[in-house]
Amino acid sequence: MALNTHKLEKILQSLRILFAFPTTTELRACYELCRLGNNIGFWVVWLPTAWSIAMAYKAQPELSVTAALLRAALYVPLSFGVKSLIMTIDDLLDYDIDAVVERTKERAIPRGAISLNRAWLFFALQVVVGVYLAFKILNPTSLYTAMTVWPLYIIYPTCKRWTNIAPIPLGLMFSVGIFMGWSDVSVDGAVPWNILAPVYLAACFWTWSYETVYQHQDKADDIKIGVNSAALLCGQHTIRICTATAVGFMCAFAYGGILNGQGILFYVGVAAAGFVLIRGLLRTDVDCPAECKEFFLTTPLIGQLILVGCVADAAVHRYLDAQAQA
């Protein structure tokens, strides 16, 4: 009996520690786990959704500017949530790798700012809140589309242990907003999958380009500890391969624009984004981590140029239509 009582006390003590109110250090660690100090992850999740809404606004005269803007604004906190969730699970599943990689060894879990159990509890809380909001806010088509990539949230962080193609699942889950955005503002409930599919492919090409160069920052450590990466797969051919995927990004996006009847400003945005992307690639030495990081930091600008082109084209189209009907 005494032994059982002792075990019970240990269990209760463990539970008290697990569910104790977080300390200031732990709160800062949760902030770090979500990468709230670095918002590139937010941009690459939100921008595809915003592109889609802008393209839907161009194609649907019945869609008001207020409805489009409100939906795009609603996706801001949702995109922050998705980005934070992905970053947290990435740190949880990769904490042992992070501990021996120079660039990541001072992250919250490896340096002991938060225990693994408490980090998992924080992740569980994010999942509960995220799933609740998804069911509460998204329409059925957007929700079911989002659910198709939820397994990738777990699969992606494990990819470096068994494959060299982690940018592929990353692109698939980051870019799914392309389908969700249009679905959420569709006037008649229809989603033009044939138009959005090449845009989705374009976003995946874009992800491969920036993420592969980004991974070159850690290649020396990756070789040392025996993990995989697209950077190691492409090696000294990285710039040529990523330039090819950058061209694929431009071509697939432009093709989606053709199918949607986009105007000249749309293609100006695509061309400007492609120019910045390819120029950055050609100027980057993949053996220099600082240059790889500098290239990666231009990623939001590329997506923003696309968005400016989409919005400007839709606005001009609406204006010309109004003038013609006046």
DSSP state letters, 160-210? HHH-S-THHHHHHHHTTHHHHHHHHH-SSS---HHHHHHHHHHHHHHHHHH
Sequence spans of domains, the chain = 9-325
CA distance 304 to 297: 13
pLDDT digits (tens, 9 = 90+) for 139-171: 999 999 999 999 999 899 888 888 999 999 999
Q: Percent of the chain at pLDDT above 90?
A: 81
For the chain, the distance separating the N- and C-terminal CA atoms, rounded to the nearest angstrom, is 89
pLDDT digits (tens, 9 = 90+) for 224-233: 888 999 999 9
38's tokens: 């670095």
pLDDT digits (tens, 9 = 90+) for 56-91: 999 999 999 999 999 999 999 999 999 999 999 999
Helices (H), the chain: 2-18, 24-33, 40-59, 65-93, 95-98, 116-137, 140-162, 167-174, 177-185, 193-215, 219-225, 230-234, 238-259, 264-282, 289-296, 299-325
Instruction: Look up the CATH architecture of domain 9-325.
Output: Orthogonal Bundle (1.10)
pLDDT digits (tens, 9 = 90+) for 269-320: 999 999 999 999 999 999 999 999 999 999 999 999 999 999 999 999 998 8
Secondary structure class of 57 (helix, strand, coil): helix
